[in-house]
Amino acid sequence: MSMLREVLRINRFAVTAEFAPPKGTDMDHMRVCVRLAKGRIHAANVTDFQSAVMRISSLTACKVVMDEGVEPVIQITGRDRNRIAIQGELLSAGVLGIKNLLAVTGDHPRMGDHPNAKPVYDLDSVGILQAATTFMSGTDLEGNNLNGRIEFFLGGAVSPTRETMMPQILKMRKKIAAGAKFFQTQAVFDLDLLREFRSRTATLDASVLAGIVLLKSANMARFMNRNIPGVSIPDAVVGRLDRFTGREQMNEGIRLAGELIRTVRSEGLADGIHIMAVGAEERVGQILDEAGL
Amino acid sequence: MIITEQKSEEALFAFLGKARKIVLLGCSECATFCKTGGAEQLLEFEKKLGPLGVEVLARLVLEPACNAYRVRLALQKGGKGIGEILARAEAVLCFSCGDGVQTVARLTGQLEYACQIPVYPGNDTLFLGEIVRADDYVEACRACGNCELGWTGGICPTTQCAKGLLNGPCGGSKGRMCEVNGDEECAWLRIYDRLEILDQLDNLLEIRPPRDYMKDVHPRRHSARGQEAGT
């Protein structure tokens, strides 16, 4: 049974945090970060070759997360595997006892560290969800029988921006039809945007976790504004970070994240949060302290 | 139209190696339009070969290079063919698309007097494209074999979306622009806007199944022979 599903079912404010598998075989740092977050989060979301950068696969890192006693969410993108490999990966996740699956399209290889790689996208995020849903009824995408049972709590990503709100919600509806029960959003900084998104998706039958990114510095905020799709950090936020120097910027970023979470929670703007500490995963606990969670 | 680009002189000279007597072929259709394989381009290239001591035995623009029947006539001995000259060549450089080069290579391979002559490509074949204005081309169709344009407001997601997605935008747009090609508007936002105007947004609610790659097993072949009209 997925604890994340249970938490959302009983309307508790869900907390997940993102952990990027390392590039190389040394898992020590990731283990330490997961251990620090243990007991504070309901699930650890493990990215799948995040930013199209080659590294340890989500499946293996999920196993490490489980060994640390934390429930994982395996991410699977459509970028690197065709439908045969994706379905095989889902079966493997089932064997390891992974209960939560987040399906995403995946950044294009051009964005990553192997820009000449072949982009696959045989299944898109909707197709991955469909594959997982057919698995739960005992067959693969071609209708062939599978032995053994498999159960996933399925999720997807949604990236509502001013320019893309309606097309994104339309796709969100497709993902729900394909089996998605929860969504995590792209990093939220603009609360008015989240309010609009919340009201436009109020009738949809899925939980939403608001994406919370830890801004480690004003420069990181500026970098994200320039380079990260779907992210728009208001000048006021960048200005707040700019008032500090060195490590104090990180602390201000933690305070900012804490404040955002408090507002999301108190206004009911989402059913939970998904913390993306990008490279500072050891700080997840501090963010939750600031948020009073 | 098939859009081509001439290979670098360096690459072309490297193909020729020690060959000193060569034949230059072009194509009357796409490569002529693209100015990569018309009569003018063949002449220009010949001028570059003079100083290198390479003699051009013949320049011929095939009409077109992708028509096996006409290429065979053009390469034969006798008639209007250049077979007699071809027989003396040490290499052929073909400024057409990749199809034309292969047509020429295959047919010369079947000719007793030409089968030992290597055929090299003069161009890189880029894509199936549309002429925006002179010398400016854009890809619009990938010839996937399963035309989706009927429900997308005439905008091809397979070609125009960098990820070829069929179920809507990926979330990777920056403003309205694509994360991959920053100069291009997200195809899915364009499709959404177009369908809104056409009052066909419902088209986007239907989940589109994964693409069928059965029609994408290469090399593809299509024959309309034996099909009766109206069937």
Mutate to test the interface with A, among B207, B212, B213 (most CBs of A within 10 A): B207
Q: Say what the pLDDT of residue B192 is.
A: 97
Q: Is A170–B205 a contact, with Cβ atoms under 8 angstroms apart?
A: yes
Please, which pLDDT band fits residue B231 given cuts at 50, 70 and 90? very low
Indicate yes or no: CB of B192 within 8 angstroms of CB of A83: no
For range B43-48, the mean pLDDT: 97
Is the confidence at residue A163, as pLDDT, over 90?
A: no
pTM, to two decimals: 0.93
Nearest CA distance, B46 vs chain A (angstrom): 35
pLDDT band for position B228 (cuts 50, 70, 90): low
pLDDT at A193 over 80: yes
Contact A108 B210 (CB under 8 A): no
Q: Is A81 on the interface with B (CB under 8 A)?
A: no
Assess A167–B contact: CB distance below 8 Å, yes or no: yes
Compute the distance between CA of residue B219 and CA of residue B225 in angstroms, rounded to an integer.
Answer: 18
Which residue of A75, A126, A172 is the best one to mutate when testing the B interface, meaning the one whose CB has the most B CBs within 10 A? A126
Strands (DSSP E) found in chain B: 2-6, 21-27, 55-62, 91-95, 119-121, 123-133, 136-139
Closest chain B residue to the Cα of A170, Cα to Cα: B205
- Phi, psi dihedrals of residue B106, rounded to the nearest 5°: -65, -45
A105 in contact with chain B, both atoms CB, cutoff 8 A: yes
The pLDDT tens digits of the residues spanning B144-167 come to 999 999 999 999 999 999 999 999
Contacts of residue A126 in chain B, CB cutoff 8 Å?
167-168, 207-208
Q: State the average pLDDT over residues A130-150.
A: 96
CB-based contacts of A164: which residues, under 8 Å, 6+ apart?
Answer: A230, B169, B171, B173, B176, B186, B189
Contact B210 A123 (CB under 8 A): yes
**CATH 3.20.20.60 assigned to B2-127:** no
pLDDT above 90 covers what percent of chain B?
A: 87
Residues in contact with B199: Cβ distance below 8 Å, sequence separation at least 6, in sequence order: none
Domain count of the fold of chain A = 1
- The boundaries of the domain holding residue A9 are 3-291
The interface predicted TM-score (ipTM) is 0.93
Beta bridge partners of B26: B61, B95
| Alpha-helical runs (H) found in A105-190 | 125-136, 165-177
List, in order, residues 6 or more apart from A141 with CB less than 8 Å away: A83, A87, A130, A131, A134, B210
Over range B76-94, report the average pLDDT. Answer: 96
Radius of gyration of chain B (CA): 22
Residues of A whose CB is below 8 A from B171: 105, 157-159, 164, 168, 186, 229-230
Over range B9-23, report the average pLDDT: 96
Please answer whether residues A107 and A119 qualify as being in contact, where contact means their C-beta atoms are separated by less than 8 angstroms.
no
Q: Within a 13 Å sphere around the CA of A202, how many CA atoms are in the beta-carbon half?
A: 7
Which one has a higher pLDDT value, A225 or B61?
A: B61
What residue segments make up the domains of chain B, in order of their start?
2-127, 146-211
CATH number for the domain including A196? 3.20.20.220
